[in-house]
Amino acid sequence: MLDLKLYKSENRPTWCPGCGDFGILNAIKQALAQLEIWPHEVLFVSGIGCGSKLPDYINANGFTTLHGRALPIAQGAKLANPGLHVIAVTGDGDGYGIGGNHFLHAIRRNINITHIVENNMVYGLTKGQYSPTSAKGFISSTTPEGAIERAVNPLALALANGGTFVARGFSGDPKHLAEIIAQAIQHPGYALVDVLQPCVIYNRVNTYEFYEQRVYKLEETDHDPTNPEQAWERAHEWGERIPIGVIYRETGVPTYEEQVSVLQGGGPAQTPPRLLTEAEREALLAELA
């Protein structure tokens, strides 16, 4: 196991005291250390939001993109350098709202990236508007009479769209979350880790106490993560009991990059540059004429 100090950033987090993002950052560092992934071997791609500041707070390669656009950039990076561990970090609004379309297509492509979603069920950075995962009736600055839409169920969406690794964690249990993230990184294909992450300022409903009274670990039950019917049932379980752990895992499904013929010899980042021959230049010009 590598030393956690390897991942310590010079930048001090500006998150609110008690924010669930601290637990997620801690869990990610633990997972990388356990898997012995060095800082130069991983790239974090984020969008815009409280949790999307994470690349600044970890000593590793980082790329902060536009709101909702972390996944396409993460996929491009993976195609350019398939040997790199690529981890996209988004919030629920970032990943399931404005980036929802990218979310669906990343799942069906099964590209080999890890997607960690800090799901606090509210827009925390922009003063507490309701988000796609806010429960029906949730009162916020934009829903003073309560949200009228049903909440998005990201686990069910991932399963329905052919997700090969679907999991949920809780930021209040960083050790358990680290184990889930480590499994997600090792999974060959798109891996979703939806993290229940309390916002201590703008969400006074889904608090640490709320989750601590309800969450239970799937590995401590008879749940079979390879059984799609059981996974579908667990993905819809919410209320007095909320499952955390690996909901579903399917192996043997080719990743997107494994099916791209030009990547079989390595991605552009792994291929030495060379000049075109005269014949290649003429053929290219003829094709473009």
pTM of the full structure? 0.93
Q: What is the CATH number of the domain that holds 164?
A: 3.40.50.970
Q: For 233-263, what is each residue's pLDDT tens digit?
A: 999 999 999 999 999 999 999 999 999 988 8
Query: Per residue in 124-165, pLDDT tens?
Result: 888 889 999 999 999 998 899 999 999 999 999 999 999 999
Averaged pLDDT for residues 53-76: 96
How high is the pLDDT of residue 156?
A: 98
Beta bridge partners of 192: 115, 166
d(CA 224, CA 242): 16
Domain count of the fold of the chain = 1
* Residue 14 in domain: yes
Helix segments in 172-262, DSSP class H: 174-186, 208-212, 228-235
Would you say residue 287 lies in a domain? Answer: no
Does the residue 277 lie in any domain? no
| 229 Ramachandran zone, left/alpha/beta (phi>0; psi -120 to 50) | alpha
Mean pLDDT, range 30-38, rounded to an integer: 98
Structural domain harbouring 224? 4-264
Q: Any idea what the Cα angle at residue 52 is, between residues 162 and 243, rounded to 5°?
A: 45
> Does residue 269 sit within a domain?
no
Angle at 282 between CA 277 and CA 287, to 5 degrees: 125
Residue 284, domain member (yes or no): no
200-214: average pLDDT: 95
Q: Are 82 and 48 in contact, with CB atoms under 8 Å apart?
A: no
